Structure 1
Amino acid sequence: MPISSALSQRGQFRAMYMGLKAQHRLDRTPVMLCEGDSWFSTPLSMNLLDWIVSAAPGDEERGVPQFGQGGLFFRVERSGDHAAPQGAAPGRAMFAKDNIDDLLGWFTRYDFDAVLLSAGGNDFVDTWLHGALAGRAHLDPAEAFEVIVSTGRYEQVRTAYEMFLRTFHTARPGVPILAHSYDYPRRIGSAAELGLGNLGVAALLKKSEGPWIGPNVEGVIDGGIDAWRDFVRRMIDGFVERVLEPLKHDASLGGMFDYVDLRGQLTQDTQWNDEMHPTEAGFHQLAGIFRGRLIEKLPATKR
């Protein structure tokens, strides 16, 4: 099976890239720049990007799309990062100017074949969601979703995405940028269970993570978990319809941006680790879909 390398240390990436160049292997090795949130970085299990980089044993025999010559992945993702700038935590915004400029230096210095993004989910949960629904009560899912729309949050996230996409498209118009939707969560209100198996000794200091949605809708949206799932489904559909779709069809971006629609894939509670993150097996299922779309966008000699 071809071997891929995922390097979060910039010096390591530079050394590996130069080694492949010296061996005249860059003409058949795809090179990807990866920026994202916890769907690319969570340590709870093999996440979406981990599985995109490293296929599971037996995947090839089962027909799961593979990189023919392996790949080199430059990884800068961090759990908890937002797409749009945050007043309380300006350094945690992926699409803020400082971070864009930093990544642009790498993007223009090395011959990347694609950019992979996982961004937008954190912009609609946790303390932001609490503030958006503050003072509301006895709403149904449709009414609660209209409150979210009225905040202008989708426009803020789309503007942030657009700044990133336009900057990278201007620098290198031919390089595809591929993002993804999120799937519909099921275990609303469930925190991540942390242990030595997924966080190592850090788990001794922190026993759980989240939840980021349940406490903010309980007492606001009537109907229990089914209504809460309906509300979150509407928010994710809104992210696709109001952020990803308009950008995909923005002619001024030259067709370089696309996204993988992952909605409706993980329909069982057992496929979710907590209210926002699939299990390792769940991420593996989604990664096969993502990798297939990514391979289609690579140069023919690097598929």
Structure 2
Amino acid sequence: MPQSSALSQRGQFRAMYKGLKDERRLDRTPVIFCEGDSWFSTPLAMNLLDWIVSPAPEDEERGVPQFGQGGLFFRVERSGDQAAPQREHPDRSMFTQENLDDLLGWFTKFDFDAVLLSAGGNDFVDTWLGNALKGRSGLTPQEAFEAIEATGRFDQVRDAYAFFVGAFHRARPDVPFLAHTYDYPRLIGSRAEFGLRNLGVAALLKKSIGPWIGPNIRQALGDDIVKGRAFARLLIDGFVDQVLEPLKNDPRLHGRFDYVDLRGLLPDDADWNDEMHPTEAGFHRLAGVFRGRLIQKLPAAKSGAEHDDPVVG
């Protein structure tokens, strides 16, 4: 099975790209630009993007969609980043002018076949969520959701997406964008669990192991996990209806923006590591769906439809 290379260090990406070009294999190798949050970058386990880059050996036998020609991935995602600009930590916002200026230079220098985006989940949780519901109590999940809507947060995130994607689209109108929804959280109030394999990253995560939802809705909704799940479900559906769908239907993007709907695919508590992140096995399940949609976006010569020899080692 062809292998893929994920190179977060830009010099390594440049060298690999040049090597493929010199060897005349670039016309068969998918080159993917990746920007996102912890669903693309969490170090606790193989995340969504890790599984797309490096499928499990048994995936091919099970008929899971594979990159027929391997792939070269330019990865700049970071855990904790938000989509919209933020005042407290402006350097942790993805869709800003500063980040755009930096990334657009790379995007226009290389022939990318697709842009993968994972953004928006962090914009609605943690201290922002607590402040949005501050002083409220005895709310139903629907009332709490309406309070979030009233802040204009969905508009802010949608505008940030449109700013970033629009600039990339104007630079390269032929390149498709593929984002994703989040699945419905189940372990409301649970923090990340560390095992033997991920204890080494504990020091790096510090306070970022959650929980990011439960403590911030407790005053408004109480400790009823059923109500917490219902509220989180409304948030995610709102993100789809008010951010992703309008972008998908935005005539200025000429049908180049699309998203993978991952809602409802992880219905069991055992599929989740904490409030916001699936387990490694959970991410693996979602990656099979995401990868299949990504392959559909690629040129035929790079999707495995015309060749089956490995191109990236």
TM-score range, shorter chain: over 0.9
Query: What is the alpha-carbon distance in structure 2 between the residues aligned to residue 241 and residue 232 of structure 1?
Result: 14
Query: What is the alpha-carbon distance in structure 2 between the residues aligned to residue 201 and residue 100 of structure 1?
Result: 29
Q: What is the CA distance between 1:194 and its match in structure 2? A: 2.5
Query: What is the alpha-carbon distance in structure 2 between the residues aligned to residue 140 and residue 207 of structure 1?
Result: 29
Quote the residue 1:25 is aligned against: 25
Quote the residue 1:302 is aligned against: 302
TM (norm. structure 2) is 0.94
Quote the residue 1:271 is aligned against: 271
Quote the residue 1:13 is aligned against: 13
Quote the residue 1:142 is aligned against: 142
* Kept after mapping to 1: 8 A contact 2:36/2:78: yes
Query: What is the alpha-carbon distance in structure 1 between the residues aligned to residue 205 and residue 146 of structure 2?
Result: 39
Is 2:36 the counterpart of 1:36?
yes
211-220 or 188-197: bigger deviation: 188-197
Query: What is the alpha-carbon distance in structure 2 between the residues aligned to residue 167 and residue 39 of structure 1?
Result: 24
* Kept after mapping to 2: 8 A contact 1:196/1:203: no
Quote the residue 2:109 is aligned against: 109
The root-mean-square deviation of aligned C-alpha atoms, in Å, is 1.4
Query: What is the alpha-carbon distance in structure 1 between the residues aligned to residue 42 and residue 201 of structure 2?
Result: 16
Query: What is the alpha-carbon distance in structure 1 between the residues aligned to residue 146 and residue 26 of structure 2?
Result: 49
1:63-96 CA-partner distances (Å, limit 9, x unpaired): 1000001000000000000000001111111000
Q: Secondary structure at the match of 1:218?
A: helix
1:161-198 CA-partner distances (Å, limit 9, x unpaired): 00011101100000001000000000000000224411
Query: What is the alpha-carbon distance in structure 1 between the residues aligned to residue 104 and residue 186 of structure 2?
Result: 37
Is 2:281 the counterpart of 1:244?
no
Quote the residue 2:58 is aligned against: 58
Query: What is the alpha-carbon distance in structure 1 between the residues aligned to residue 191 and residue 134 of structure 2?
Result: 22
* Kept after mapping to 1: 8 A contact 2:44/2:201: no
* Kept after mapping to 2: 8 A contact 1:194/1:207: no
Query: What is the alpha-carbon distance in structure 2 between the residues aligned to residue 117 and residue 224 of structure 1?
Result: 33
Quote the residue 1:175 is aligned against: 175
- Residue type matched to 2:134 in 1? A
Higher relative contact order (CA 8 A, sep 6+): 2
1:182-215 CA-partner distances (Å, limit 9, x unpaired): 0000000000022441142645995981000000
Query: What is the alpha-carbon distance in structure 2 between the residues aligned to residue 259 and residue 267 of structure 1?
Result: 20
Instruction: Sort the Cα spacing of 1:61 and 1:201 in 2 relative to 1 into closer, same or farther, 3 A.
Output: closer
TM (norm. structure 1) is 0.98
- Residue type matched to 1:161 in 2? Y
- Residue type matched to 1:219 in 2? Q
Query: What is the alpha-carbon distance in structure 2 between the residues aligned to residue 270 and residue 238 of structure 1?
Result: 25
Query: What is the alpha-carbon distance in structure 2 between the residues aligned to residue 130 and residue 202 of structure 1?
Result: 25
Structure 2, unmatched stretches of 5+, are: 304-313
Q: Secondary structure at the match of 1:58?
A: helix
Count the aligned residue pairs.
303
Query: What is the alpha-carbon distance in structure 2 between the residues aligned to residue 199 and residue 52 of structure 1?
Result: 24
* Kept after mapping to 2: 8 A contact 1:195/1:203: no
Is 2:93 the counterpart of 1:93?
yes
- Residue type matched to 1:166 in 2? G
Query: What is the alpha-carbon distance in structure 2 between the residues aligned to residue 84 and residue 199 of structure 1?
Result: 31
85-94 or 192-201: bigger deviation: 192-201
Query: What is the alpha-carbon distance in structure 1 between the residues aligned to residue 70 and residue 152 of structure 2?
Result: 42
Identity in percent: 73
